[in-house]
Amino acid sequence: MIESEQTEGQEYETTSAPGDTNDTTKQTDRKSLFGNQGGLIFIILMVVVMYFFLLRGPRKKQQQHKQMVQSLKKNDRVRTIGGIIGTVVDIKDDEITIKIDESNNTKIKVIPSAIGRNLSQEKN
């Protein structure tokens, strides 16, 4: 148990000048200030990382697919996302006609986003 002694008539008071700072207070302020900034920096870094993984990757892939579809030309061999392999016969803005069977002259029309790969381009 700690006992405190007080002397009659004496008053203990601590005062500090405006330029003086207490070392323990200074250290505590730094820790809390660093902790707040460290957390904020961590959150900002996480947002940047999430942007690169969640938004930039798919957007880049979408641009590559769009470029591949725009570079299609007649007689290119393509594979659709459904697995159908055929030869491009006609290209319009909103549809691509693919010949899938030579003997029966079977053709199908697909939208540009249904083209998965350009097999002619991969061989070169």
CATH classification of the domain holding 99: 2.30.30
The count of structural domains within the chain is: 2
Task: Categorize the per-residue pLDDT at 24 as very low, low, confident or very high, splitting at 50, 70 and 90.
Answer: low
Q: What is the mean pLDDT of the chain?
A: 80
- Whether 1 is covered by a domain: the verdict is no
66 & 77 share domain: no
When pLDDT is cut at 50, 70 and 90, the band that residue 1 belongs to is very low
Both 58 and 81 in one domain: the answer is: no
Q: Which residues are paired to 80 by β-bridges? A: 115
For residues 119 and 72, give the distance between their C-alpha atoms in angstroms, rounded to a whole number: 10
**62 and 108 co-located in one domain:** no
Residue 80 · residue 108 · CB < 8 Å: no
Same domain, 79 and 118: yes
Containing domain of residue 88, as a range?
73-124
Q: What is the C-alpha separation between 115 and 109, in angstroms, rounded? A: 11
- pLDDT at residue 10, rounded to an integer: 56
pLDDT of 124 higher than 80: no
Res. 71: pLDDT tops 70? yes
Q: Residue 118's pLDDT band (boundaries 50, 70, 90)?
A: very high
Let me know whether 35 and 54 are in one domain: yes
For residue 33, what pLDDT band results from cuts at 50, 70 and 90? very low
Query: Do 97 and 79 fall into the same domain?
Result: yes
Helix (H) / strand (E) element for 8: namely: none
Tokens of 31: 């820790």
Token digits of residue 90 = 């006609």
Residue 8 within a domain:
no
Average pLDDT, integer, range 65-91: 94
Residue 83 and residue 123 in one domain = yes
Q: What is the mean pLDDT of residues 76-91?
A: 95
Name the band, by pLDDT with cuts 50, 70 and 90, for residue 56: confident
Co-location of 50 and 91 in the same domain:
no
For the segment 75-98, the average pLDDT, to the nearest whole number, is 95
Q: What is the pLDDT of residue 40?
A: 85
Q: Which residues pair with 115 in a beta bridge?
A: 80
